[in-house]
Structure 1
Amino acid sequence: MRLEFDDEEELLRTTAREFTEKELQPYLDALPDAPMPRETVQRIMRMVAPLGILSARLPSEAGGAGMSYVQLGILYEELPAEVAMDASGNDLALFRLHHGCTAEVRDRYVEGLASGRLLAGSAISEPGAGSDLSSISTKARREDDHYVVTGTKIWSSQAAVADVLLVAASFGTDERGRARIGRLLVDRTQSPFTIRPTEMIGLRRHHMAEVTFDDCVVPGTHLVGEPGEGTEVYALSWLSHRPCIGLIAVHLAREALARSLAHARQRTQFGRPIGSFQLVQHLLVEMSTLVDTSRYLCYRALHLLDAGKPARYESAVAKAYATEAAVKVTSMAMQVHGAMGLSVELGVEKLFRDARMLTIPDGTTQIQQLIAGRELLGLSAVRG
């Protein structure tokens, strides 16, 4: 395992960090803490597209950035959390489209998604199906040259602003009676669907929604891969995305630590900086240790994936540890700031709310622990 970035990775990190500090964060700070209008999301995606994050996992020969997983992780760590979450819509869609999309879909959508001209979202989870994809009840039935989709999705990222949704649907059942999961690219201009925005406690500039497909007609050419392949492709995409979610959490924790260090130096009580008190130093050292260990776990997983290793254990542990650590660090930052840490004005509480959001998507902490346990023991706690 490499503990330092090489020259190319360091240049990418410096470029992304300076771009965030000078361009992105000031722009975001001027916006309300509420879902951004589509035009604003699209503008930001066009701003970050040259960095390669929108098509990072798509090979260069297919029109993508063809980045290493470590390079992708650097961008997820350095960009603002809400920007990284928005960018992941296109990033994941292009990765999943690459595994099986038709030439028609590739020619029509890849360039627009890679450049930020088009926005993508995911529609996977349902009221009765989350990590258990085999329980998906949204159905896609073939009629002549098209599919008809019926069902409801929840926690659909970017659905309110997306031009296209990559929808997980059941195409019947296999010999074991489990749903044959497939993927359909649903273009809202061709195949209308309805949405109901979902208000969340954190990452409020990012969009989340419930999506309803009521006999939604989708062209047959928009089937991505073969029915039954969906579960494997989603699992493959989550494998690399989990440590990236962990690095979004690291970004938030790192910011909380930086603010706390500055406050501990400046704030005085009893005639001296509060940073000179042992209990405050204890908090700060614990926060710093959590940030460091989170970073190393996430980049370890990405480094192993770059080396062609499966890294299922490392990916799950990285996501579980880093997101939970960010909740602890941001909470401790509020403690270091005292009463001001509770104020909306200061903004530390926003870091806490945003961090709390990350322990759930792409598999809860408990699901990650089950995955890690299966890899350790060779025994599944879910299925025999």
Structure 2
Amino acid sequence: MSYLDTLEPIVRDLIAPAALTTDRQAQYPRAALDALGQAGLLGLISAKEVGGMGAGMAQAAQIVQRIAQDCPSTAMVLTMHYCGTAVIERCGPEATRKAIAAGQHTSTLAWSEIGSRSHFWAPVGTATVEGDAVLLNAAKSMVTSAGQANSYVWTSRPMQGEEGLSIWLVDSQLPGLQVAGPFDGLGLRGNASSPVKANDVRVTLADLLGEDGKGAELSNQVVLPIFTMLIASCSIGMMDGALARATAHITRNRFAESGSSLSDLPTIRAYLARAKIRADQARTLRDDTLAALAAGRPDTMLRVLENKASAAEAALEVTDTAMRICGGAAFRKEAGIERLFRDARAASIMAPTSDVLFDHIGTALCDAAAAEQAN
């Protein structure tokens, strides 16, 4: 049985039926996570040596993409869990790795800060040594699964020196951690995304993931690739979900006076075609990025940056088109299209934002051209 075969009954019987309530009540998808854990899918990328499935980024992308067709909130929670897991797998304690593999522990990233905004690579939060303990102080601007995940993969400035960043494994229930409150946002309403403050939160040196001040290497080699791949996969899943719902609507509904369907209108078919092409372009780039990562191609990092921006911007266009061709029917909550339309807005502003990525990509192209001219 494939990973998607394992997932499908969970989506069909639990995640999809609860999606409307998850959104309407901003309800954290705890039942879905429990089911994913029991099926072994929380440990999808955990190593087999600790009891996990030993799958890779490509399989995680497919799982996230499928869930996002019906409930992007659940897909985002799982995305951040896989991102945190990737770091913990690289340098976290064995007990936590085994708990994740067993479906008994969820994690998430706590990176963006009020002071650094979307520039998550430059934290202003501190880690100060006090005897045998380390005190963490920070104001994280937005943390998925805030107060819900078992642990945060947390960034700070180094304990020693001014350059670089450090990464910590932080128990989400430690004294001094304060979640701002329930999330009540435009989209992704069930992902419990909220600011989190740390006031003299006591951790130990054993909670340091990697070396002090050397977190940028983990960020670039581990977190950035899987984060961009899975965020892009969320966007692709939302496009798939919106297109499926829109196609069903225009083929099913007919004009009373003529008996023709909405899909008989060439303009509507043309809109649908353009949306499908845009979604498939983003999917193709995502899959090429996976191939680049697997092969260690020279253009890998450029593809990683392009991948998130492309899928995020495509999702804005495709969900907008789905709303347009379905007309007033798309505004009904039960149709699910306007929910995907709202949820799709998140990826473009999630750090690194599309605009930041466009700047990085453009800078890389200009630098390459300048180097070529110099030679």
Q: Name the TM tier (shorter chain).
A: 0.7 to 0.9
Q: Does 1:257 align with 2:243?
A: yes
Q: Give me the whole-angstrom Cα distance separating, in 2, the residues matched to 1:70 and 1:161.
A: 26
Tell me how large the CA RMSD over aligned residues is: 2.5
- Once the 2 structures are TM-superposed, how far is the Cα of residue 154 of structure 1 from its aligned partner? 0.9
The answer for the alignment partner of 1:211 in structure 2 is 196
CA deviations over 1:276-297 (Å, ceiling 9, x no partner): 1111111110111112112111
Give CA-to-partner distance per residue, 1:260-310, whole Å, 9 cap, x none: 111111222351212111111111101111121121111111122122336
Q: Which amino acid aligns with 2:188?
A: L
Aligned to 2:373: none
Q: Which amino acid aligns with 1:90?
A: H
Q: Does the 8 A contact of 1:133 with 1:181 survive in 2? A: no
Code of the aligned partner of 2:85? L
Does residue 289 of structure 1 match 2:277? yes
Instruction: Rate the CA distance shift 1:31–1:321 in 2: closer, same or farther, 3 A.
Output: closer
1:337 aligns with 2:326: yes
Distance 1:115 1:29, change over 3 A: farther
1:346 matches 2:335: yes
- Cα deviation, 1:87-118, whole Å, max 9, x if unaligned, reads 123212221123333xxx322x2222233322
Structure 2, gaps ≥5 residues long: 370-375
Structure 2 residue aligned with 1:356, among 345, 351, 355?
345
- Kindly indicate whether residue 102 of structure 2 is the aligned counterpart of residue 115 of structure 1: yes
TM-score computed with the length of structure 1 as normaliser:
0.86
Map of 1:170 onto structure 2: 157
Name 1:367's counterpart in structure 2: 356
Report the residue type matching 1:329 in the other structure. V
What is the SS of the residue equivalent to 1:135? coil
Partner of 1:193: 177
1:244 paired residue number = 230
Match of 2:214 in 1: 229
**Structure-2 change in CA distance of 1:207 and 1:190 (3 Å):** closer
- Is the CA contact (8 Å cut-off) linking 2:91 and 2:210 kept in structure 1? yes
Aligned residue for 1:309? 297
SS in structure 1 of the partner of residue 53 of structure 2: coil
> 1:165-207: per-residue Cα shift (whole Å, max 9, x none)?
1210112564xx53x3101222144444111134321010111
The answer for the alignment partner of 1:146 in structure 2 is: 133
Aligned-partner SS, 1:79: helix
Query: Is the partner of 1:118 in helix, strand or coil?
Result: coil
Query: Match of 2:341, as an amino acid?
Result: F
The answer for the alignment partner of 1:83 in structure 2 is 74
For residues 51 and 362 of structure 1, what CA distance do their matches in structure 2 show?
A: 31
- Residues 46 and 97, structure 2, Cα contact 8 Å, conserved in 1: no
* Counterparts in 2 of 1:369 and 1:63: CA distance versus 1, 3 Å: farther
1:69 to 57, 61, 64: 57
Q: What code does the residue aligned with 2:59 have?
A: Q
Alpha-carbon distance in structure 2 between the residues aligned to 1:303 and 1:74: 14
CA distance in 1, matches of 2:266, 2:359: 38
Q: Identify the residue that residue 286 of structure 2 maps to in structure 1.
A: 298
Residue deviations 1:26-50 (CA, integer Å, cap 9, x gap): 243454523335xx52x32231236
- Count of matched residue pairs: 362
Equivalent position to 1:376, from 357, 365, 369: 365
Q: Specify the code of the residue in structure 2 equivalent to 1:66.
A: G
Helix, strand or coil at the partner of 2:180: strand
SS in 2 for 1:99: helix
**Corresponding residue to 1:28 among 2, 6, 19:** 19
Q: Can you give the 5+ residue segments of structure 1 that lack an aligned partner in the other structure?
A: 1-7
Percent identical across equivalent pairs?
Answer: 22
Q: 1:18 to 1:295 in 2, by over 3 A?
A: farther
Task: Give 2:248's aligned amino acid.
Answer: A
CA gap 1:190/1:339 in 2 versus in 1, 3 angstroms: closer
Q: Residue deviations 1:24-75, cap 9 Å, x none?
A: 21243454523335xx52x322312366543344433354332132222111
1:204, 1:189 → 2: CA distance? 22
| Counterpart in the other structure of 1:60 | 48
Q: Quick one: distance in 1 between partners of 2:184 and 2:246?
A: 29
Amino acid at match of 1:353: R
